[in-house]
Amino acid sequence: IDSSGLVASVAVIEEETLVAEYTMNYKKTHSQTLLPMLEEIKKSIDLDLSSIDAIAVAAGPGSFTGLRIGSATAKGLGLALDKPLISVPTVDALAYNLYDTDEDTIICPIMDARRKQVYTGIYRFADHELVTVSRQKAIAVEELIRELNALGEAVIFLGDGVTVYQEMLKENMQVPYSFAPAHLNKQRAGAVGALAEKYYREGKTVTAAEHQPEYLRVSQAERERAEREAGKK
Three-state DSSP state, 102 = coil
The pLDDT, as a whole number, for residue 48 is 96
Q: Which amino acid is at 59?
A: A
For residue 16, name the pLDDT band (cuts at 50, 70, 90): confident
Alpha-carbon torsion, ordered 58, 176, 182, 89, to 10 deg:
0
Percent of the chain whose predicted confidence (pLDDT) is above 90:
88
Question: pLDDT-based confidence at 223, cuts 50/70/90?
Answer: very low
For 146-190, write each residue's pLDDT tens digit: 999 999 999 999 999 999 999 999 999 999 999 999 999 999 999
- pLDDT exceeds 90 at position 214: yes
Report percent pLDDT > 70 for the chain: 93
CB 216 within 8 A of CB 136: yes
d(CA 79, CA 201): 21
Instruction: Give the separation between CA 57 and CA 195, rounded to whole angstroms.
Output: 11
- How many angstroms separate the CA atoms of 79 and 83, rounded? 7
Which residue type is seen at 159? G
Burial call 38-55: b when 16+ CB within 10 Å, e when fewer: beebeeeeebeeeeeebb
Residue 21 contacts residue 189 (beta carbons within 8 Å) = yes
Question: What confidence score (pLDDT) does residue 217 get?
Answer: 74
pLDDT attached to residue 29: 86
Q: Is the pLDDT of residue 229 over 70?
A: no
* DSSP per-residue codes, 148-174: HHHHTSEEEEESTHHHHHHHHHHHH--
